[in-house]
Structure 1
Amino acid sequence: MLGKKLVMRGSVLFGWDNTTDKIVSFHSQADMITPMLNLLGNLKDVSCVFSKARITPECKFV
């Protein structure tokens, strides 16, 4: 996997406070399963990669 490029689709939702004109929250989400499956070729290997990872398949850090 080293040196490989993953292209992920995702979204970011910003919460805006009209009173202060500032961002007060954000929520990000991305699909890592599909590009990992394309790279590795099977769900067993994808599962193995995420079993001890510091990031979830939804792209959340743990």
Structure 2
Amino acid sequence: MRELRRRLKTMAEGLAVAAPHRLAGQLAVLINGAFVSMQLFEPGEATSLLRDAAHALIAASRS
């Protein structure tokens, strides 16, 4: 999990967001939640939900 968050922070820094560490944490929570909730969704549904939520977090981080 620490390695995932480190990688997410590196990616967030490349996006030039205001708080890359915070965005990395938010994305890590989102990804972990998706893994835990996977059985609640139809096949493939979690992927699109995760993608949409990640895009929203990134856009909000740029505002």
The interval holding the TM-score normalised by the smaller chain is 0.3 to 0.5
Between structures 1 and 2, the one with greater helix share: 2
TM-score (norm 1): 0.34
Point out which structure has higher relative CO (alpha carbons under 8 A, 6+ apart): 2
Higher strand proportion: 1
TM-score, scaled relative to structure 2: 0.33
